[in-house]
Amino acid sequence: MLWIPGPTEVRPEIFEELTRPMIGHRSAEMVQFIERIDPGLRLAFGLAEGSTSLVAVGNHSATAMMEGSLLGTGPRVLSVVCGAFSKRWRDIAQLVGKDVTTLEVEWGRAVTGEELARALDEHGPFDAVTLVLNETSTGAFTPLAPVAAALREHDDTLLLVDVVSAIAGAPLDFDTNRIDFALAGVQKALALPPGICVLCASERYMNQAKGRERRAWYLDPVRTIEGHVARKTPATPCIPLYAALARQLEDISSGATLPTGERGKSGADAWTARFEKHARMQARTKRWAASHALELFPDDAVASPTISCIRAGSIDAAALIAGLAERDERIGGGYGPLKGETFRIGHMGDHTEEGLERLLTTADDVLG
């Protein structure tokens, strides 16, 4: 079983969708796939009733849209950096020529509303803020309400959020949290094979982006979003992944992926139940770590519901990972500078609590 921080396990039903006969991407069947995707994506991004924000699918990995999202913003960017992926976004902003200010936050911590408000006041005004919601490298999840509060007085500043390892594992409440642009791959808590990315943009983002010269074709989010609204893709898309995404979103929304006792739930209730399953798996993993006198790398208050990054302490992380792999259970090592010092368990997507128990018992055996 694949318990790395993504890609994660994919259900057989999803693999079946991938083996459907090929169709044309300008066909009526393709339009149907796009139409089936929309309601589930709106639930995944937690759009408010009557929201004017728009969802879309991008035919590339999430990193491409980290770059693309910046095409719609002005030059002044504040990048919150608290791990490897938020650093990647900052580096991309610099590479594409933005005037970037970095708000450096110690790895394992999440930015606070006060820190963000101070940076906005002292170094602003900014056209955009980049933030990674769930830092896959550290297992820290940034609470968004304080971020939204810090931006209250900064009406023209766009909030761009990478929700790669958060979507479908935790509520996003896109509109309530004042997000302007969110992007995610599908290989984490959405539990699909990698290859496409999903995105959501606010009316404010679209209005600002449309007024700018966007010197790109493939990566232009406005082209992708407007195409999606018109039920068209700018170029030939990864058609099998559209079928898989439509099926997965419908299965999540109908409660089909929930634990047996909760299968009656549907719509937003089914999504909430999925988030609660992730929270229980996080709590269980933390208890398991404590039973071996191990601590989470991030502060407990910001521990990720989808990825537990655990300090290896006196344990040999490489030996644990190798011992588990011999028993066909795969967990992840520490990322970048945290290699050796931490290991990571991705308890996300369609993994079950029973599966997690088996993994943790096997880990007990290996450690024993």
Ligand X SMILES: Cc1ncc(COP(=O)(O)O)c(C=O)c1O
Q: Which residues would be at the binding site for ligand X (CB under 6 A)?
A: 6, 61-63, 85, 132, 136, 162, 164-165, 185, 194
Helix axis angle, 221-229 to 203-210, nearest 10°: 120
- Please report how close the Cβ of residue 322 comes to ligand X at its closest, in angstroms: 22
How near is the Cβ of 329 to ligand X at its closest, in Å? Answer: 20
**Residue closer to ligand X, measured from CB, 73 or 253:** 73
Q: In angstroms, what is the minimal distance from the CB of 259 to ligand X?
A: 26
Comparison of 128 and 366: residue with beta carbon closer to ligand X? 128
- Please state the closest distance from residue 261 (CB atom) to ligand X, in A: 31
**Element at 307 (helix H, strand E):** strand 307-311
Residues in the chain: 368
Q: Is the CB of 240 or the CB of 255 nearer to ligand X?
A: 240
Pick the closer one to ligand X by CB: 131 or 273: 131
Report DSSP state, residue 45: T
How far apart are CB 263 and ligand X at their closest, in Å?
30
Q: How far is the CB of 319 from ligand X (least distance, A)?
A: 24
Token couple for 338: 């945290």
> Do the Cβ atoms of 344 and 297 come closer than 8 Å?
no
Which pairs count as long-range contacts for 321-326, CB under 8 Å and 24+ apart, including other chains? 323/366, 324/359, 324/362, 324/363, 324/366
CB closer to ligand X out of 63 and 94:
63
CA distance 237 to 22: 12
Query: If you search the block for the tokens 């761009």, which residue do you land on?
Result: 160
Of 192 and 356, CB closest to ligand X: 192
Q: Give the C-alpha separation, 237 to 229, whole Å.
A: 15
Minimum Å distance from CB 341 to ligand X? 18
Least distance to ligand X from the beta carbon of 110, Å? 13
Q: CB-wise, 185 or 349, nearer to ligand X? A: 185
Mapped onto helix, strand or coil, the DSSP state of residue 80 is: strand
- Cα 304 to Cα 281: distance, rounded to the nearest angstrom: 11
Torsion (CA) 248, 253, 254, 257 in degrees, nearest 10:
50
Give dist(CA 126, CA 76) in Å, integer.
5
Name the residue among 78, 87, 99, 53 with its Cα closest to residue 154: 78
Asked if 150 and 28 touch (Cβ cutoff 8 Å), the reply is no
User: Is 69 or 285 the residue whose CB approaches ligand X more closely?
Assistant: 69
CB atoms within 10 A of CB 220: 18
The CB-of-136 to ligand X minimum distance in angstroms stands at 3
Cβ-based neighbours of 294, under 8 Å, separated by 6 or more: 310, 311, 312, 313, 315
Question: Given the complex with ligand X, which of 73 and 165 has the nearer CB atom?
Answer: 165
